Every structure is written in C-alpha cells, then in structure tokens.
Amino acid sequence: MKKIILQKVTVRCGFSLMELMIVIVIIGILAAGSLIVFGDKGEKAKIAVSKTNYKSLIKYVRMELFQCNSGMIDYAFLPPGVSKGSYKCPITASQTAASLINNSCRVGVMSELKNPYDPKQRACRLNISYKNDSDVGYFNWSEKNGYQHRYSACWEKPCSNTNNHSIVIIDVTK
C-alpha cells in the first residue's frame, strides 16, 4: 500500500489587512498634500466670481440707464420676454431706477447671478451695507439722493478692509 502525501496548497485571494491599511495611509497622505497645494483655490475662485459679478452688474446698470435716458429703448431693466414695463424712459428719479433694478434682481437678468459664498442667494440686493462680513459676495445698491445710486460690493473677508470692497456712485438720470 502506497501512502499518498498531500501537500497543503494555499491559494491566496485578495489582500491582507496590513496591505489594505498601507494603501489607505498612502491615499490619506496624498490627499493631505493636495489640500495644502489646492486648498486656497476655492476661496480665490469665489473672490474672482464676486469681482466679476460686481463689474458685470455695474456695466449692465450703466448700459440700461444710458439706453433708457438717451432714447434708445422705451423701457429699462425688463425681464426676459417682457416688452413693456411699468416705467417709461427716460428715468427722472432715483426711486424709479431703484424700483426697476429691484425688479430686475428679483425676476430679470440680474436674478441669474448667485452669491458665490452662498449659492442659494441671489448676488444682488437692495441694501446699503457692504462693510460687514455677512455682505461678502453680494452686489448692493441703494439710493444716495434723488438722482444718484450707490452700488457696492465686498468680495473678500474682512469686508471692512478697503482692498476687499468697492463703491460706485451713478447718476441714474443721465
């Protein structure tokens, strides 16, 4: 009778726990390194978007006011698809322009822009404040007097720093 000796054959399937832990540690180290390299890019993008929104909205307001007050259009700051507004051009008072701009911010062209620091909020609002940190990312306007508006924005905290905000006064009747 012959003896048959069977050798134990081990078949290895998968990775050991130690190998998996090493891979996880390496991924963690790489992720931490990428945060150091790319960490401030999101903040810089928000600042850039805030500045761009402000400049774009100032240009839009000036263009609409110019066209309205020079007789090129009959109604200013109309929402898309609307051909007639409640105020006929030219604009003769700051309050009229404020109403038109407020409407444009709620349902018009300006309503499409969002605050990059709080994307649930529109970027524009009727407000005099621009130096509080809660104002970051907003395009603000308010009446300065009977014929001028104040347009302001803060794009980076602290908003009280003069390098982080801007203010423009526009005569809305010219």
Q: What is the pLDDT of residues 71-123, one digit of tens each?
A: 998 888 887 777 787 788 899 888 888 888 888 888 888 888 899 999 999 88
The whole-number pLDDT of residue 125 equals 86
Indicate if the pLDDT at residue 135 is higher than 80.
Answer: yes
Quote the pTM value. 0.74
The whole-number pLDDT of residue 22 equals 79
150 Cα distance to chain centroid: 20
Residues 6+ apart with CB under 8 A from 87: 75, 76, 96, 99, 100
Average pLDDT, the chain: 84
The whole-number pLDDT of residue 11 equals 62
Confidence of residue 38 (pLDDT cuts 50, 70, 90): low
Rg of the chain over all Cα atoms, to the nearest angstrom: 29
Indicate if the pLDDT at residue 1 is higher than 70.
Answer: no
| Cα angle 171-104-71, degrees, rounded to a multiple of 5 | 50
Average pLDDT (4-8) is: 64
The whole-number pLDDT of residue 158 equals 93
Indicate if the pLDDT at residue 133 is higher than 70.
Answer: yes
